[in-house]
Structures are given as structure tokens and as C-alpha cells.
Structure 1
């Protein structure tokens, strides 16, 4: 079981005890979770304290600890230094990857993202054919920036004509921030577990972004967050409450079509990161990208 642990109340202390993450308040235990089930720990409450032994145990398991700002966007992420038995060789291959391979990898990610956006619109009874056409026209490296063109078409239909994606804005944007934080943490764990450096991206290259590769690889999965936020907002409003957080955290366990079968989002991310690492080493690109789930599944997210 993959679980995201969210700490939103001040005064909590997190520690390790016999293979468990233990949560206490004023010295009294209020809960515990097996360490082996934890995908990530997300901390919103700035009055939270953590034991060093717990942080070391989470690092050993590749589980990131994410510290969030008031808008639910990540401010810092604690990640392990070692993630794979052949990390040195894989990091060299990542650093030395040829530009054509990198551009083709980004093209495939953009195509998968636009197709997932098209499926999200179709599931909510909006015209999706223009996005399908854009997906077929994406060139190597997305030189025509069809990702941005798709976004301009997608967001007004998905969230309303007045919507503007703004990380610092409240309401729906705050819900999106939280969902993307969960997805980013799961992707960062997959990247480090595959022996890759999260700061060396395919497309994202901001010097201040230590998780550029995670941001690249999570792109095809973002519309799953969007669908969930759409459903939550329609049913319960835009408050980032416990129910909303639980619904967004459950996304990492959602089964997606992948190859000849289905895999949870967390497993799909691990397979994608591992395949990218192998592609860097062989010089031949082979990425197992998910296809959209059926319309009923997408429409039911967050509902």
C-alpha cells in the first residue's frame, strides 16, 4: 500500500518506533503508520518536529519529506542521497545523454500529457478533438510549444472561462497546488529510486529547481489531479480540507492502463523513471507512458 502522510496541525512530533512512523502530541500517541507503506510525508504545520532517526529511515526507503507553504505549494523537499545500486553509472549516462534523445523524450511526454488532457475534457463533455489534433503535431523537443497552446485551450473548458493558473492564488489553485505536490513527491521518489538526479531535467531547467526531472516526468499525470479538483470543487467547494487532501492523495493508487495491463500511478511513475534511466544508458528511447483511463473513471475522480 502506498500512503501519503499529511501533517496539518501544529504541536505534532514525528518519530520512528519499531518500523513505524509514530505521531504524538503533548507526549501522547495519536497514530502510527508502517514506514514501508509511506510514499511521502507532507508537512503544512510549521510547529511540527521530526526526529533525525525518522528522517533517516524515510530516506532509506526513498520517501521524500515535503515542507509546504500556506498555499500548499512545496517550499523544500528532503530526499535521500543514494537511490540505486548503479547510481554512479546512471548519473553519468543522464548527464551525457544526447540532445536528440532528450528532445524525443520530451516530445513523448508532451504527447501523453495532451492526450490525457483531451481525455479529461471528453469525460466532462467538452470538445476534445482540437487537443487530439495538437497531440499529433508535436515535434521533437516540442519546438512549436504545443504544450502551451494545449493549455490555453484546456484550462477555460476544464475550470471555467475566468480561471487562471496561479500558484499563489487561493481556492481551486490551492487545491491544484496540493494535488501537484503529492504527485511531485511521488515522482521525485521514483526518479531517485531509478538512480537519476532529479535536478537534471529534460525540459524544465530553472536554475533554482532542484526537481526539474520530476516536473518533466509528472506532466502526463497532471490531468488526473485536474479531474479530481474539478470533482471536489463541484461537490464540496474549493477548501483544502481533510477530505480533499485524502482524495488527492489517493490518486497515487489509481490504476492506469499501461502496456498490456494496469498499474497504479506510483508504479507507473517508477516504471517511467526506470525506463528513462535505461534509455540514457543504451541511447535508445523506450518510455512506458500511460494511456488515459476510461471516461467514467476520469469523470468520477473527486466526486
Structure 2
């Protein structure tokens, strides 16, 4: 049973005029017109540079807490519109966040990295690849704050097994992973900002040049979802329209939290809600993180 029904990720890959009418997104394409209720939309991706969008629609999307991703000419996301002050208790949440102690931050990061490595091991196992046991051993060795750098050791081992050719940065899988991670990052940012979090302040990431340090903390256990989904793509085709449509469905993918099925979208919301409980109770064990499942999509039609 799904805990909630995921909203839609809408991706525009061809010329269209986008308008706002009666709380709907109206898509006027060359061959047809479509109407989608704003309440059904999670993220809107503008990939084609022949898409024209009205200011009224942009304002309505912001009011509804919908993230808008703009892609560059290389089809990779380069900009993100997020709502400002979307949460009625924004100040209270930020105040709690600013009071997170160093020991709590380090303990939360330990749990995040441990689950990330466990999910990487699950990914390899589901793909029938070697390296599962070594990753599970590394997961057990993660200390508070990951002071011994088990994350980087695990990443090196993981991608040696995961990639059939090339490297993480160069090779046939690199564009697919980069695209999927960018979409995932935007979705987490959308949820975090809508929830009132100060996304520039992270638990582990702390760069003054990064406006999304918290997002880059919370994304880690979800990355293997993208990795697993990328294996469903036609790799020789690269960032084809079909492959991108597969990757944009990542928010509908199934994960588990404490034995219950969640869509990735719902799991992101649960991760943030449980982080709030962990912060307010000063108890890292409140944090609930996703466990990777075989590729399965939540039913978009269920209500």
C-alpha cells in the first residue's frame, strides 16, 4: 500500500505556450492542448528553449510550492525557481535548525552515509554485480561525522563495480547520472524550501558558495535510486527523449522506510519531517531514511 499518491513531474521537451487558468497549467502545443491541475504537479521541467511561459503562471507555480527547472542547451538543468517564505512557521523552523549541535549534526551525517552505502550495496545486488559484501562492511565502519571517510572509499569501490565502462565523470553513464541527480536535487530543494528550511545551512556540507548545502546532505541516500533507474535506460542513446522521461519518473519510484512502501517523493517529505523531529528532540534516531527497492513505479492514478 502506498502511503501517498505522488504528484506529477511535467517535462516539456518541445515547443509550447504555457498559461495559467482556473488554477490549471494550460499547455498549448503544436498538435494539442492539455490542462493539468496545479495541485497535481510536483516539479515542472522546461527543457525546450521554444517554451513560452507567462508571468502569471510562474507566480501561481510559486504560490503552490511547485519547483520550476530550466535546462540549458546541453539539456542539463541550470536554474531552479523555488517559492519564498512558503511555510507559515518558517522562522521557527530556521531557529531550530540554527541551534543544531555539532554532535547531533555528526550523528545525523553518520546515519545518512551509512544508509547511502547500504543502498549502494543493494543496487549492486539487484544488478547482479560484485562488491556487495565490501560495501556492507564499509557501511558498518561509518563513524560519527564519517571521520574516517568511508563514503569516498565506498564510492570508489561502488562505481568500479557499477560502471561497465568509463568513469563516473566520463563515459556513457555520466550524462544519465548527472541528469538524474540534478532532477533529484531540484525535487529535494523544492520540498525543503516549501517546508521552511534554510537550505544554505547543511549538516555536513558547509560551502559558502553553495546555496543548497542541506539539500546536498539529504540527497545522499537517494542517489542509488537514480543509479538503478539509469540501468533501465538505453545507454548508447545518451540523453535521448526516452531516457530523460525514464529518469524524470524517479520521484514515482518505490523505496521503503521501516518496512512501508513510499514513493521517492513521499520519502523525501518523510526524511525532512523526521529531520525536524530529530532536531527538536536532539535525537538522531528520529531520522527516517529510504531503503532502495527494485524499480517499481507508484500508481499515479490511485486516490
Do Structure 1 and Structure 2 share a fold, with TM-score over 0.5? yes
| Closer/same/farther in 2, CA of residues 68 and 287 from structure 1, 3 Å limit | same
Task: Give the whole-Å Cα distance in 2 for the aligned partners of 1:21 and 1:59.
Answer: 13
| Of 266-275 and 179-188, the range deviating more from structure 2 | 179-188
What is the aligned partner in structure 1 of residue 223 from structure 2? 222
Task: Give the whole-Å Cα distance in 2 for the aligned partners of 1:83 and 1:274.
Answer: 16
Q: Quick check: 1:231 aligned with 2:232? A: yes
**Per-residue deviation, residues 219-252 of structure 1 (Å, max 9, x unmatched):** 1111111111122136xx3422232122212221
- Confirm or deny: 8 A CA contact 2:172 2:238 kept in the other structure: yes
Superposition map of 1:1-303 within 5 A: 1-9=6-14, 11-25=15-29, 30-127=33-130, 128-160=132-164, 162-166=165-169, 171-233=172-234, 237-285=236-284, 286-293=286-293, 297-298=294-295
**1:284 shift after superposition:** 2.1
Stretches of structure 2 lacking an aligned partner (at least 5 in a row): 1-5, 298-303
**1:66 shift after superposition:** 1.2
**C-alpha RMSD of the superposition:** 2.1
Task: Give the whole-Å Cα distance in 1 for the aligned partners of 2:167 and 2:249.
Answer: 26
Tell me which stretches of 4 or more aligned residues in structure 1 moved more than 3 Å. Answer: 70-73
**1:76 shift after superposition:** 1.6
**1:263 shift after superposition:** 1.2
TM-score scaled by length of structure 1: 0.88
- Confirm or deny: 8 A CA contact 1:73 1:178 kept in the other structure: yes
**Per-residue deviation, residues 181-217 of structure 1 (Å, max 9, x unmatched):** 2211221122123221222112222323222211211
**1:7 shift after superposition:** 1.9
Equivalenced residue count is: 290
| Closer/same/farther in 2, CA of residues 44 and 105 from structure 1, 3 Å limit | same
| Closer/same/farther in 2, CA of residues 71 and 152 from structure 1, 3 Å limit | farther
TM-score scaled by length of structure 2: 0.88
**Per-residue deviation, residues 142-180 of structure 1 (Å, max 9, x unmatched):** 1111111111001121112x42222xx574221112211
